[in-house]
Amino acid sequence: MKRVASIQDISCLGRCSLTVALPVLAVMGVECAVIPTAVLSTHTIFPDFTCRDLTDELLPIARHWKSQKVKLDAICSGYLASPAQTEAVCRVFDLLRSEDTLIAVDPAMADHGRLYKPFSPDFPQYMKKVCARADVLLPNLTEACLLTDTPYRESPDESFVRELLRKLSDLAPRVVLTGVSFDSARLGAMSYDRDTGLYYSYFNEKVPASFHGTGDIFTATVLGGMMQGSTLERSMALAVDFTLECIRCTCADPAASWYGVEFEKALPWLARQNESAER
């Protein structure tokens, strides 16, 4: 069985980060070890959330695993609570990776043109160093603009997105941009491989609703797909389809946007994809 380590926070309420990565990877038949970066009462979109930063625990956990000769097929980082934590995560990658460990980074720090509340404007400079360790980098459009010092555009055209992907590939050899849409009917993702120079895009239906935590679901699904032996491109297509499935399951509830998508209802769909992949 493949084993990945997921480095991100536990938001106790609001379906995101570890509380979605764990079930998604479990359904995909992948063991998910965790290095929690912080414990928050809720994700940071709720007002007055509490946060206990766990920066001091990250390296001790990694050193203990190293002493136990733990083998990791992948290490994936997501939401990090502070600049100091970005440096600790770089050291965790260096300590725990072996030659065939895939490093995936979701620079979960911004959306809809803005940094998340807790971060100061210089945070992307710190996050860039984490991204530079990645084999696969998975930002959304806002994060991609911040990482490449590109002014944010709400409705980018294809040439803008291609140029953004190319700039991102200065940080990591394979990049996947999420939340790509060139018209009102379709939404998906676009990738670029620096070594082959190939772009790939995959779209599905665009549902006119926005939910918190969908990026975390997308990243966990891409990682799960790759651990199942699929290519990055196939894993990305699966992640687009699964994220849409989660959104479809959620649309009926008008109060859902802060509580994250009702991915629990879509997990059986994801499990069925494993069966067809095995056949």
Closest to ligand PXL by CB, 17 or 142: 17
CB of 52 to ligand PXL, least distance (A): 12
Closest to ligand PXL by CB, 55 or 228: 55
Residue nearest to ligand PXL (CB): 44
Closest to ligand PXL by CB, 51 or 95: 51
Closest to ligand PXL by CB, 136 or 169: 136
Binding site for ligand PXL (CB under 6 A): 9, 11, 16-17, 40, 43-45, 79, 108, 116, 213, 215-216
CB of 279 to ligand PXL, least distance (A): 33
CB of 199 to ligand PXL, least distance (A): 26
Closest to ligand PXL by CB, 34 or 277: 34
CB of 49 to ligand PXL, least distance (A): 8
Neighbouring CB atoms inside 10 A of 237's CB total 21
CB of 194 to ligand PXL, least distance (A): 26
Beta bridge partners of 34: 6
